[in-house]
Amino acid sequence: MELKTNDIMYQSMILNNNQKVNYVMQGEGEPVLMVHGLAASLHDWDDLLPELSANGYAGYALDLLGHGESEKPEHNHEYTVEKAYLHFEKWIDALQLQEPFTLIGHSLGGGLSLLYTLRHPEKVRGLVLVNPFYDLNQLPPVMQTLFRRKLFNPSLIDLAPYRLFRFFIDMTSFNYYIGHRESHILPEHIRYQTALDYKRASSGIYNFPRTLPSLTLELNHVHQATLLLWGGQDQTLQPSSFPELTNWLPNLKGSHVFPFCGHVPHQCHPEKFNPYVMEFLKNL
C-alpha cells in the first residue's frame, strides 16, 4: 500500500520473516535513515524529514517492531532488542540502498543504530546519536530496578486510555523555568502525537530495555563520523551519560546540549536541532 502526499511516500511491506514494517520516505539523494525511541513512531521525524528532502537527501523513517503501524507480535517473549534489531536490519536490506547511508537514532533507536554500525560498518557513512540509550545503567535507579525484571502483566498497559498517557506527557513536559513564555517544553501537536504513539504501541515493547546489551565497551569500535546531540533536562536517561560518550567515540565530529530540552530535543526545538544535523551531513 502506498500513498503519495506532497512528495511524502507512506509505505508498508512484508519482510522476508513475514513481519510487517511501516515506513515513510521523502526526497532524492544520499540516503538518511531515522530511528525513533521507545513508545514513539516514525512521526518523531516529521520536522526533520522535509528539511532533509529540501537539501537533497532521501530521508527514510520506520515504525520499529511493536510500534506505530508495524508488526506487533502477540507474545511478550518476542519483544527483545535483538528481535527489534532484526526487524530493523531486514527493513534496511529490503530498501536495497546502493550506497552507504547515515543513521540518525534517538534513545532506543540510537542503541539500534550503534548495533547496526558495529555489525555492518561498511554500510554506514555517518551516525547522529540523539539522547542515545546504550546501557541500562543510564536509567534512573528506580527505573533500572523496574526494567531489570520481567514485567508481570504488561498487557494491563493496553487498557490505559489515551487521556492517561496525555496527562503523563503534559505533566512531564510542563515548563517550570521562569522567564519562558511557553507553558510546555513540547508544543501541542507533539504532545498529542506522543500520547497517541504510547497508546498505539504494544505493551510488549516495555520488555526491550532489560534485553539491551551494554554497548559501552564497544563504543571505541565505532569509527564512523559521529554527531552527538542531547537534551540537558532528560528525565528518562541520565543526562550525565551523554557527555561521557565524547571520551569513547573515536571519530566524534561534534556534540551539543540543548539545555532547556528533555528527552526529545529533535521535537522540543527542531528549528535549533535541525541545523546541527544539516551541517554535519554537509561536511561528511
Overall number of domains in the chain: 1
Picking from 186, 155, 159, the residue whose alpha carbon sits closest to that of residue 171 is: 186
CATH number of 279's domain: 3.40.50.1820
Pull the grid cell for residue 29.
539523494
Picking from 62, 134, 138, 144, the residue whose alpha carbon sits closest to that of residue 103 is 62
Report the predicted TM-score, pTM, of the whole model to 2 decimal places.
0.91
Q: Which domain holds residue 126?
A: 2-283
CA distances, 179 to each of 6, 159, 182, 234, 272 (Å): 38, 39, 9, 20, 19
Q: pLDDT for 79-117, tens place per residue?
A: 999 999 999 999 999 999 999 999 999 999 999 999 999
Distance CA 157, CA 152 (A): 11
Q: What percent of the chain has pLDDT over 70?
A: 86
For 145-170, write each residue's pLDDT tens digit.
877 766 555 566 667 776 766 656 66
Altogether, the residues listed in the chain come to a count of 284
pLDDT band at 175 (very low <50, low <70, confident <90, very high): low
